Amino acid sequence: MPRRIVQWTTGNVGRRSIRAVAANPNLELVGCYVHGEEKEGRDAGELAGITPLGVKATRDIGALIALEPDCVVYNPLWSDTSELVRILEAGINVVTTAAFITGHAFGDEDRARIEAACAAGGSTIFGSGMNPGFANLLGLVSAGICDRVDSISVLESVDSTGYNSPETELPIGFTRPPNDPELPGMVKNGTAVFGDAVLMMADALGIDVDEVRCESDFAVATERLDLGYFVIEEGCVAGIEASWQGIADDRKVIDLRVRWRKGQSLEPDWPLEHGYLVEVEGQPCVKTKLEIRPPKDFEARSFEDFMQLGMIITSLPAVNAIPATCAAAPGIATYKDLPLITGAGFASVS
């Protein structure tokens, strides 16, 4: 029988989750939660830009829990611990892309609440996404051919000009003056889930890290940049680098880095890999690059259309993990705890 799924929110990532669930014969969408009154009562398929699915969106959490789904695909912009606790206590599993890998970024109190909810409901929560998430799994897999692993680094470097998300980008420092003393703290707070990923990778490798720290750097626009969703004045932050590091014995053993830039006029003019670069130092040394490109039949009318690929690769690591998460032991699960996750249900044979 297909796993019965409730979709939680219908933003950029949530819409791709709805499409994925609808396209996978192993999954069945039975409910859809929305925040806004203007979306309530509308068909989930319509909200996702596909044909109607016969599932009406609602803001009634109790009604969705009463459906007793196997799993909630939780894709809000920001997590709500009380929502998660209510779902998990009801015995419903959760896969999420909302800044959750191990839950440590939520703080000790909220993480303990989530663990207690899983225990009470016999449920499991798994968090992923492209990065952090799948990119970290790629790092662990790359290290699997080594008989000595000295360090692992994962670099995401992209031009995010087409990523229209002021709610997530302004809080980490875009548009700010480069001498703003709050910038390092903003980056640390806004990217804290990468600290989770450091802990997850260290746990999977059997490493006890002494410290997890964040370092940041910034580049500025050399001319005024109007992106449509916000304006970056000349001399203000148009590029952000963050490095989340796991330190053991005064040595950097894990380094998770992001390099996000806006536009072509940047100082310094940071180079981009346009994807994900994994480097393992050890025996042997391993370099793995993951590039994302559209299929041949992809119709792109704007740069923003290409960003849909980003929404897909954020959504699918969680959606594809639904069967494994439902079968896992109760609690907070990471890639270390789950079996091989594939694209089962999405393979095209025609």
pTM given for the model: 0.94
Q: Where are the alpha helices (DSSP H) in the chain?
A: 12-23, 44-48, 61-66, 81-89, 108-121, 135-142, 166-169, 183-190, 193-205, 303-319, 322-327
For the chain, domains (ranges, CATH) are: 3-128+321-333 (3.40.50.720), 132-303 (no CATH)
Span 199-232, pLDDT tens digits? 999 999 999 999 999 999 999 999 999 999 999 9
d(CA 281, CA 252): 11
Angle between helix 81-89 and 108-121 (nearest 10): 20
- The pLDDT assigned to 303 comes to 60
- Indicate the SS3 state at residue 270: coil
Structure tokens at 202: 């260290």
d(CA 209, CA 205): 11
d(CA 74, CA 203): 25
> Which residue numbers in the chain have pLDDT < 70?
300-304, 349-350
- The pLDDT assigned to 306 comes to 72
196 burial via Cβ count (<10 Å: 0-12, 13-18, 19+): buried
- The pLDDT assigned to 295 comes to 85
